Structure formats: C-alpha cells, structure tokens
Amino acid sequence: MKQIEKFNQTLFVSLGSQIDIERFCQYSLNVQFEELSKPRDFIYYQIKSLKDASELCKRFIKYFNLGSSSWIGGRVIDNENNFIAQISYNGRVWESENYPCKEIEL
C-alpha cells in the first residue's frame, strides 16, 4: 500500500553536483573551468513518477558530464518534504538513502 501512496503524490527530485576537490587540482585548466561552470547545490524539479525521476537524473548527469563523485542529486520527496526514494548515479531507484537497501523496480 505504501508504494501506491507514493505514486499518487506530487513528487520532486533533486538535481545537483559538487566539485570533486581531491581530483580538481589534477585537472587541466580547461577542465577546471568546465567543472566550475557546472551547476552547484540542489535544484528540485517536479516529476510525475519515479521512472521520470530516474530518466531526468540520467539526462542531467549526461548533459553536464558528471562523474559519480560529482553527482549529489537524486533525492525524491513529496510536497511535504517527506523522503520517497533515492536515485543513484546509474538511474536505479532505492527505497532508502542508507545502503544497503531494497531497489524499487520500475
């Protein structure tokens, strides 16, 4: 029943990136500028389903050429800021932010 309730709510997914400080100084100057031009912190987008959230996260990661250490988004919440799911770097959907946890099949 909990899964059904998740799909009947207004949902939002966070998109965001951070600079990988450990690797940043190893990059060429051009790559450093590219890294600095990527969006920082979180932006929340309204989505219709967990599948939409997964696809949006994958598009965001691809568009900004993010590595797994730079990806910090993927948190799905409802309109009351309650946690619903977590989207990992590869687009898989998880029922908790704490790993290991059960994957939500789409």
- Tens of pLDDT, residues 28-37: 888 888 888 8
Query: CA of 93: how far to CAs of 29, 38, 58, in Å?
Result: 35, 24, 12
> How many C-beta neighbours within 10 Å does residue 4 have?
7
> How many C-beta neighbours within 10 Å does residue 1 have?
4
**Which pLDDT band holds residue 19 (cuts at 50, 70, 90)?**
confident
**Which pLDDT band holds residue 7 (cuts at 50, 70, 90)?**
low
Strands (E), 2-106: 11-17, 41-47, 75-78, 83-87, 93-94
Q: Model pTM?
A: 0.81
- Tens of pLDDT, residues 38-81: 888 889 999 999 999 999 999 999 999 898 888 999 999 999 99
Domain ranges of the chain: 2-94
